[in-house]
Homo-oligomer: A and B are copies of this chain.
Amino acid sequence: MDVAESTGNLADQLLRLTRRLHRAQKQYLQPLGITPAMSRLLRVVSHSEEPLRMVDLAQRLDVVPRAVTTLVDGLESFGLVRRVPDPANRRVIRVELTAQGRDALQRLRDARRAAAEDLLAPLGPEQREQLGELLAALDRDPSRSC
């Protein structure tokens, strides 16, 4: 098979997988009442030592700051996160998890793992390890934790 053609095929497979993962994610998040974008934000918040600023969240989620405002509005209305002012800089708002938010995050992780287990069922342990290595090689910049 021609190199260009095989690259095209790989692109097709990746796009199909992307689509499938997107649908699966929506499925397993639905019962939790959390949207995929909120789920990403919660994970970024939980991965950080200190409460992040809105602008940091935007950078790590790779979206414009305005998008973060909407997401935090939603999560705050659900009681999962809290906006706290920064004493050192009155422009800044920091976002931290509430106790409810930590609970939700745990349920979210469990649901994600169950969904992944289902998706990965066709692969044996050594194939999963292979896949993990390939994905790590593809991901040159692991700083974005979304």
Could you list which residues of chain A lie within 8 angstroms of chain B, going by C-beta atoms? Answer: 4, 6-11, 13-23, 25, 40, 62, 109, 112-113, 115-117, 119-120, 122-123, 127-128, 130-132, 134-140, 142, 144-146
Q: Could you say which of B21, B130, B140 contacts A15, with CB atoms under 8 Å apart?
A: B21
Q: Which of A15, A20, A109, A127 counts the most B-chain CB atoms under 10 A from its CB? A: A15
> Which B-chain residue is minimally distant from A25 (CB atoms)?
B15
Q: Which of A10, A132, A144 has most B Cβ within 10 Å?
A: A10
Selected from B10, B17, B113, B116, the residue in CB contact (under 8 A) with A139 is B17
A133 vs chain B, min Cβ distance (A): 9
Number of copies of this protein chain within its complex: 2
Cβ 8 A contact of A138, one of B17, B138, B140: B17
* Residue in B4, B15, B116 whose CB lies within 8 Å of A10: B116
* Shortest distance from the beta carbon of A40 to any chain B beta carbon, whole Å: 8
Contact B123 A8 (CB under 8 A): no
Interface contact A134-B138, CB-CB below 8 Å: no
Q: Is the interface of A mostly helix, strand, loop or mixed?
A: helix
A6 to B135, CA, bound (A): 13
Residues of B within 8 Å of A140, CB to CB, are: 122
Report B-chain residues with C-beta under 8 Å of the C-beta of A142: 16
